[in-house]
Chain A
Amino acid sequence: MAPAFVVLAGICVSLFLDAEGAPWWASVSGAALVAMFLVLAGSFGSSLPGSREALTLIFLFTILSSFFLLCRIDESAFIERQVSSKGTILYERPWGRGRVALVRTDNGRFVAHLPPSSVLREGDRVRISGLAGSFGPSPDDGGFDEGRYWKARGASGKMRRPEVSLVEGEPGGILWLRRELREKILRDLPPLMRGHLLAAMLGARDPELAEKHSVWGTSHLLAVSGLHVGMVVLLVLCCLPRGALRLPLASLVMWLYVLSAGAAPSALRAGLMLQAGFVGKWIGRPVSAVNAVSLAGLSLLFWRPWFFWDLGWRLSVLAALLLSSLYDREFRRGWSLAPVVLWIATAGMVSEVFGSVPVAGIVINFVAVPVFGILLPLAFILAIPSLAGIPGGWTAAAAGEALFVLWTRFADAMVSILPWKAVPSFFLNISGIAVAAFILLVGTGFRRAPAAAFSVIIAFFLAGF
C-alpha cells in the first residue's frame, strides 16, 4: 500500500464532491470512505499493512487534510478595492483576442487583461492601477474556469481595465535569466529548434509548433514534465563525481531548471517526485515510485488546492502514477505498452477539453519519447555555439533543425496513415477510467480479480456522473 496515494485519492474525491456542491461533512466523509476502501479492499488476500497506529494516522491525516483544503478552497472572496502599485510582470501570454499578464504587487498578485497591441513582457517593472476584484463565477457547464486557472498560478484577483505603464528597472534572478534566454533563442535559432527549446527551457509555447504537436498527439512533449526534468538530472548526475555533494548539487540544478522553465504544475510535480527519491536515498529508505508521485501531487494541492482543476496537474499526476504503477508492480512485462495505456487513460479527459484526440498519437508516442529523449539534449548542445555567438555556430543549429524536420516528416506521415480522431464519448470516458483505475489499484497492492471488478464499478460511478 502507498499511504500517500490513499491520502491523495481521498482528497481528490472530497474536492470533487465540494465542487459538485456537497456540504463539507459529505466531502470529508467521501475522503474517509475512499481511504478506507483502499486500505481494506487492498488488503484482501494479505494481511492489513502496517500497524493500527499507522492506519489511524493515515485516516486522520486524510480527514484533516480534506477539511483543511476545503476551507482554503471556500475561503472568502477577494474584497473589491482600488489598487495602484508598482509591480513586476511574472507571466504574460496571448489570451483570446488580447493578452494577459500576471502582475506581482505589494497588494498581491493580479491578473490584468491587456490589449493585443501590448508590448509588456515577462519581467517588466510596471505601475498598475485599477479596480481589483474577484474572478467571475464558475461556469455551470463545466467549461473553462478562469478563477481556478489563475488561483492555481497564485493570483488573488483580477484587475478590471487596468492602466499599466512601464517604470525604470530591470528584473533580477530567474526572471532576468528567462528574459535573456528567450531573447537569445528567438534571435539566434531556426524555427523548429527555437520552438522546441523555448518549450523545453522556458515552458513557452510557439503556437504553430503547439498546433503541430496537437495533430500528432504529442502535446505533452512541449510541457516541461518528468521527461525533461529527468533528462536534466541524469545529465547532472553523469557529470558530477560520486560524493556527499552529488545529490544536493543535482537537486539544486534540478530546481533551478524547474523554476527557469516556468514552474508549470507538471514540472513541479516531476521535481517534487525526484526530490522525494533523493531524500529516500539520503536517509537510506527505498521510495516507492507511486508513493513519490502521490506525495508530489499532494504537496502541490496543499500549496494551491486549485491545481486539482488544472488539466496540466491532472494529466501529469495521472500519467506519472500510471507509469509508476506499471514500473513498480506486476506489469513490468507490459511496460512497453505504456504509450497505449496512457493514450486510453487520458483520451477521455483530453478530448473533453480539446474536442478530439488523434489516434495516430498511439503509434507516434511509441517512438516520440525515446526520440525526444535524445533529440532534446542534442538540440540543446547544437544550439550552444549559436546562442554563444560563436562564428559559424549557425551551422550546428541548422543540423539540429534538420533533425527536427526529419521528425516532422515522420509524424506527418503517421498522421496521414492514421488520420482518425477520437471524439468525447461515454465509451472513451468509461474505458479510460476503468483502465486507469485497474492499473492504479494493482499498482497499489490490489489483487487483479478484485481490482478489475472495482475498476468497472469506479468507472461507472465517475463516467456516469
Chain B
Amino acid sequence: MSLMELPGSRRGIFLLAGGVICLLAAGLLVAAFSGKWDKNPSGQIAGPAPFVLTGEDTGPGGSSVHSQPTGSGTESQWVIYITGAVMRPGVYRMPPGTRVYQAVEQAGGFTSEADPEAFNMALPLDDGIHIHVPRKSEGHGPPVSGQVGAVGGGTALIDLNRSDAAALQSLPGIGPKLAQEIIRHREERGRFTSVEDLLSVKGIGEKKFSDIRNLVTVSR
C-alpha cells in the first residue's frame, strides 16, 4: 500500500514522522559540521592545484601524491609557494632549513624561460614564503608586490608576522616607535595577510611604504 492510499489520519502521522526524521537528520548534519572543520574556500590558494611529492614517491618513475595543503606549516614542515618559471608551480611542504634551490628542485626545476641570474639560489627560506622565479622577459627590475620571497638580491626579507622590534628597525624609516606600532597592530588585529596591510599601520604612509615594500614579506 502506498502512502497516498493510506487513510487520512495514518497518512498524516507518516508524513509528520517522515518530516521530523528529515529535519533531525539535517540538524545533525549541521551540528556535525558547524565550526568543527577548517575548510579552505575558493580563492585561498593562487596558482595551479598544489601537490606534494613525498620522499618515496619522487624516485625515477615514481608518481606524485596529490594532497590539499593545510595552509599553515607544522613544527616539522614548512609550506612554500613557488610560482613563475618552474616546471610545476604550486604549494609544497618542505623541511625546515630549506633553501631556494631545493624548492626549485621540488618544483621540477627551471623552465627554459627562467632567468637564473636574476635569482639568488642560496637564499634561506622560511615557513609561508612565496618564491617567484622570474622569466628572462621580466628583466631584472624590482619584484612586484605580492612576488615576495626569494626574488632579487641576497638580502633576507623581514617577515612582518614574525620579526621582533629590532629586526623591524633595520628597515629604512622604521624607528623604535613605528616598530612597536607594527607589532601592536599585529597583536591587536591579527596577522598581516599582505604587505599592503602595512598601510593600515598608524604612521606608515604611501612614501614610507614604497621605501620598504620590497624588503618585507608576510608568512601565513
Q: Which residues of A contact B (CB under 8 A)?
A: 13, 16-22, 26, 29-30, 33-34, 36-45, 47-48, 73-80, 82, 96-98, 113, 115, 130-131, 133-138, 140, 147, 151, 160-161, 450, 454, 457-458, 461-462, 464-465
Contacts and interface: CB of A to CB of B under 8 A. Distances in A.
B144 A82 contact: yes
Contacts of B33: 17, 20-22, 26
Interface of chain A, main secondary structure: mixed
Contact of A30 (B4, B26, B48, B146): B26
Contacts of B4: 47-48
B22 interface: yes
Interface in B99-127: none
Contacts of A96: 200
A98 B198 CA distance: 13
B76 interface: no
Given A136-B194, A465-B34, A131 B144 contact: yes
Interface of B: 3-4, 11-12, 15-16, 18-20, 22-27, 29-49, 71, 83, 144-147, 193-194, 196, 199-200, 206, 213
Given A37-B19, A131-B144, A136-B193, A22 B43 contact: no
A228 to B, nearest CB: 32
A133 B46 contact: yes
B45 A77 contact: yes
7 nearest interchain CB pairs? A41-B19, A21-B37, A21-B39, A465-B34, A37-B22, A33-B26, A40-B19
Given A22-B32, A137-B43, 20 more contacts: A13-B26, A19-B39, A21-B33, A21-B37, A29-B25, A34-B26, A40-B19, A41-B23, A44-B19, A73-B41, A80-B47, A80-B146, A134-B44, A136-B43, A137-B71, A138-B43, A138-B44, A147-B42, A160-B145, A457-B23
Contact of A79 (B16, B30, B35, B46): B46
A137 B18 contact: no
A431 B45 CA distance: 39
Given A45-B12, A48-B3, A73 B30 contact: no
7 contacts: A20-B36, A36-B22, A40-B19, A44-B19, A74-B42, A76-B48, A137-B43
Given A21-B37, A33-B22, A465-B35, A147 B27 contact: no
Given A17-B30, A135-B43, A34 B22 contact: yes
B37 A131 contact: no
B45 A134 contact: yes
Contacts of B38: 21, 140
B16 A133 contact: no
B47 A79 contact: yes
Contacts of A44: 12, 15-16, 19
Contact of B48 (A20, A79, A457): A79
A138 B37 CA distance: 13
B29 A77 contact: no
Contacts of B12: 44-45
Contacts of A16: 30
B44 A458 contact: no
Contacts of A48: 3-4, 15
B29 A22 contact: yes
B37 A42 contact: no
